[in-house]
Structure 1
Amino acid sequence: MGCCRGFLQIVSFSLQKYTLILKWFAEFDFIFAQQKRPMSLFLFWLFFGIGILIQAIYLLVIFGKTAFYSGNTPQSTSRNEEGVTVVICAHNEFGNLKTLIPKLFEQDYPIFDVMIVNDRSSDRTKRLLEKMMESFPKLRSVTIKYTPPHCTAKKYALTLGIKVAKHDVMLLTDADCLPETNQWIRKMTAPVRNQGKTFAVGFSGYEHKPGFLNNWIQFETLLTALYYISFGLWKKPFMGIGRNLCYRKDFFMNAKAFKGLWHIEGGDDDLFLNQYASGQNTAIVLDPEATTISKPKETRKEYLIQKKRHLHVGKYYRGSDKRKIGLYSFSHALFWIGGIALLIYLGLAQSWEQFSIVFGIILLRSILLTVIFKAAEKKIQGTKPPKNIWMLDFLYLGYFWILGTISHQAKDIQWK
């Protein structure tokens, strides 16, 4: 990891000096003029070269940590099976809870209960919970009738749920999620119970459905997972997702976890981890038996609202963690912009030898990207990867920069 960290520091330093380098090369513009090669061609090659270099490091070294991960997460010999409370915040989730609650009580774990935080629901959620508590004695609920003006709804609901939780080990998911297996509680809480970890970070995917939108959701979800799982495996964790996250109640309460975050809509999971997670206190649970599956958005409007909220939170990350994502996206843009510009320029100039080199590099990266994604999907979830990864990767160029900019400036972010 020291080598990888050193490389990232060098690259970050180089990018800061990028403008000075361009000015230095501009002083030697007469060389290109004498050779009848415009400065723009040099810049295209420079962009393309920097992009492919950083992309190779991310794909092979950083994301490769997940894709080529061997063995299971190390387990302690301890068989501590202390109690676990599964915490779920629900706002008008009658239909989802009706399916989820019986599924949770199929878990193969001896001591656990389920806490449903009924957050201002106007549907039949309260009546459903009352009825189900008769059938499931380990089901508990707390009802929230209003949210204080200084708090955001999800954080307030989650805090109340954790505060009244019976056990110290908290396992979080959402109302529209389902555990993939009956080993979910056991596998996800093991690092906290048996290894003394503060956080255990897991993966939550989405149901596979036909259509381009769902294929895109699968791609974007897997890419996001490659970020936080890979850096977590490199002992540099910076985020997790509330659909599959474990930590201790005592730590949450003692740290006053949402202090300074109450005004931010979202971030009850990733911003919390961003503040407190470290290589020593956080474990990544990379096991298909420890995953959850969620219902994907089925319209572009719903999806964009969801992603705008997720991307908006990113601007509150620590600077070093912003660079972990930003450096990949920046090099991704340099690679595609430089590569396409070179293909157009060299094609018009009929410089077919150089054209073939650029095209070959783009093709080689597309193959490498597909291999990494396929291997990572198998390790993380044990299912098939998205279709046409190379095409989705190209479209990600516009998605990140356009939607990311809009989300960064957004003022109308809401949970529900």
Structure 2
Amino acid sequence: MILTVVFYIFVAFTAIQIVYYLIFTSVFFTKKSTKKQAKFPVSVIIFAKNNAENLTNFLPSILSQNYPTFEVVLIDNNSSDNTEEVINSFSEINSNIKIVNVENNEAFWGSKKYALTLGIKAAKYEHLLFIEANCKPISENWLLEMSKEFTDKKSIVLGYSTLNNEKNIPNFLIRFYHLITALKYLNFAKLGMPFMADGKNLAYTKSEFYRAKGYINHMKLELGEDDLFIQDTANEINTTFCIHNNSFTEAILKDSFLDWFQLQRKKMFVKKRYQPKHRFLIGLFSISKIFFYALGIILLFFYPLQSILLLIGIYFLIQFIVIGIASKRLEEKNLIFFLPFLDFSFLLIQITIFIANLTSKPTHWK
């Protein structure tokens, strides 16, 4: 009797996981519409702190965008390297660069949100497009494709940022974690429930920023300039997404796996500020995956093997198809070949983050 109940619970959580993965395909089957070429001017916002090397390597790909009118707002947040020299050198030969030098003050010491606020206020145009200093557009039409998604009703555009592909296990783990996160926020935005964004490729209007009073609701938190801003402003009507291949950016991942892990710990605390319905959707995905693996392993020893293997096989088949489609469309190479390992590792990482955050807050958390 008990085994039968456990089996049906396993079936239920397996079904939940399958439903999530089917939802993760919705953005890839969106009916394509013919959009007019964007002609309005755009301000590209780049926050930089000790990013001299990245700006030297990646800023040319932004300045050479195939777009009629745009400016690049470079925010130097009190850098201690030669970021200021690099920015000034680009500014001397590019008239569309605007420099915002941010000095530390007692109230907002080292705050990225404060620096971004100054940059947004200094921006000349209504439409804003954000990219990080360690990122580059993968196409000269990045600005064009992201801007196309703005309409009279759509004032927030969620983009996708890939991570540089390196053939080592930490890179595979981080890229898979990043892919699953993106599939969540892109597809739920498609379903009318936007809950987060990636600041490495995000666009919204100045009007939305001022309507939300900027980052005032979470100014004291170190993180959240992207996802908590979306929590404050985004809804079914004003938010859309862009997954055209030319709209992607690529971030260069140079941090160690431990540094990345500590960052995810901080982001987990930020998620506590999400709306209850969003926390439920995110939590259900993780919890159902835990029960899928835990109950599946237990039932393999105590329940008819054929039934359990059939359900596990269906799960991995659907996951393989969905991740295969997503990897191809989002240009995440090689992940599909390590899928079962990556999926289980994804679960272990989330459990480890949860346990670590129960015992202590991440270091340097504000």
Q: Please say whether Structure 1 and Structure 2 have the same fold, judged by a TM-score greater than 0.5.
A: yes
Contact 1:291 1:381 in 2 (8 A): no
Task: Find the counterpart in structure 2 of residue 146 from structure 1.
Answer: 104
- The 1:52–1:382 alpha-carbon spacing in structure 2 relative to 1, beyond 3 Å, is closer
Alpha-carbon distance in structure 1 between the residues aligned to 2:244 and 2:30? 11
Residues 341-373 of structure 1: CA deviation (Å, up to 9, x unaligned): 111334xxxxxxx11221222122112111101
Residues 290-327 of structure 1: CA deviation (Å, up to 9, x unaligned): 01000124522222122222222111100000111111
Alpha-carbon distance in structure 1 between the residues aligned to 2:129 and 2:66? 15
Alpha-carbon distance in structure 2 between the residues aligned to 1:151 and 1:371? 47
2:95 maps to 1:137? yes
- The partner residue of 1:359 within 290, 309, 312 is 309
Contact 1:151 1:262 in 2 (8 A): no
- The 1:70–1:320 alpha-carbon spacing in structure 2 relative to 1, beyond 3 Å, is closer
Query: RMSD value over aligned CA atoms?
Result: 2.0
- The partner residue of 1:168 within 118, 121, 126 is 126
SS in 2 for 1:159: helix
Contact 2:65 2:140 in 1 (8 A): yes
2:251 maps to 1:290? no
Specify the code of the residue in structure 2 equivalent to 1:69. Answer: F
Alpha-carbon distance in structure 2 between the residues aligned to 1:386 and 1:312? 30
Contact 2:162 2:330 in 1 (8 A): no
Specify the code of the residue in structure 2 equivalent to 1:412. Answer: T
Moved more, 391-400 or 154-163: 391-400
User: Between Structure 1 and Structure 2, whose CA radius of gyration is higher?
Assistant: 1
- The 1:215–1:315 alpha-carbon spacing in structure 2 relative to 1, beyond 3 Å, is same
Task: Find the counterpart in structure 2 of residue 45 from structure 1.
Answer: 7
SS in 2 for 1:118: strand
Task: Find the counterpart in structure 1 of residue 29 from structure 2.
Answer: 69
SS in 2 for 1:200: strand
Specify the code of the residue in structure 2 equivalent to 1:52. Answer: T
Task: Find the counterpart in structure 2 of residue 400 from structure 1.
Answer: 350
Residues 173-208 of structure 1: CA deviation (Å, up to 9, x unaligned): 10000001011001112222x443110000011010
Contact 2:43 2:129 in 1 (8 A): yes
Task: Find the counterpart in structure 2 of residue 266 from structure 1.
Answer: 223
Question: 1:240 offset after TM fit, Å?
Answer: 0.7
Question: 1:80 offset after TM fit, Å?
Answer: 4.5
Alpha-carbon distance in structure 2 between the residues aligned to 1:43 and 1:152? 54
Alpha-carbon distance in structure 1 between the residues aligned to 2:170 and 2:261? 11
SS in 1 for 2:218: coil
- The 1:296–1:314 alpha-carbon spacing in structure 2 relative to 1, beyond 3 Å, is same
Contact 1:170 1:249 in 2 (8 A): yes
- The partner residue of 2:76 within 111, 118, 134 is 118
Give 5+ residue unaligned stretches, structure 2.
none
Alpha-carbon distance in structure 2 between the residues aligned to 1:124 and 1:378? 39
Runs of 4+ with deviation above 4 angstroms: none
Specify the code of the residue in structure 1 equivalent to 2:62. Answer: L
Alpha-carbon distance in structure 2 between the residues aligned to 1:297 and 1:387? 23
Alpha-carbon distance in structure 1 between the residues aligned to 2:38 and 2:10? 53
Contact 2:157 2:204 in 1 (8 A): yes
Alpha-carbon distance in structure 1 between the residues aligned to 2:58 and 2:177? 25
- The partner residue of 1:214 within 157, 161, 171 is 171
Task: Find the counterpart in structure 1 of residue 59 from structure 2.
Answer: 101
Residues 40-63 of structure 1: CA deviation (Å, up to 9, x unaligned): x24531431221121121112x11
Contact 2:165 2:171 in 1 (8 A): yes
What aligned pairs does 1:326-345 form with structure 2 within 5 A after superposition?
326-345=283-302
Contact 2:161 2:249 in 1 (8 A): yes
Contact 2:75 2:99 in 1 (8 A): yes
Task: Find the counterpart in structure 1 of residue 136 from structure 2.
Answer: 178
- The 1:107–1:174 alpha-carbon spacing in structure 2 relative to 1, beyond 3 Å, is same
Contact 1:309 1:413 in 2 (8 A): no
2:268 maps to 1:311? yes
Contact 2:194 2:235 in 1 (8 A): yes
Residues 258-310 of structure 1: CA deviation (Å, up to 9, x unaligned): 12201111000001001210111001112111010001245222221222222
Q: Identical aligned pairs, as a percentage?
A: 27
- The partner residue of 2:16 within 40, 49, 54 is 54
Alpha-carbon distance in structure 1 between the residues aligned to 2:77 and 2:229? 20
- The 1:145–1:414 alpha-carbon spacing in structure 2 relative to 1, beyond 3 Å, is farther
Contact 2:41 2:127 in 1 (8 A): yes
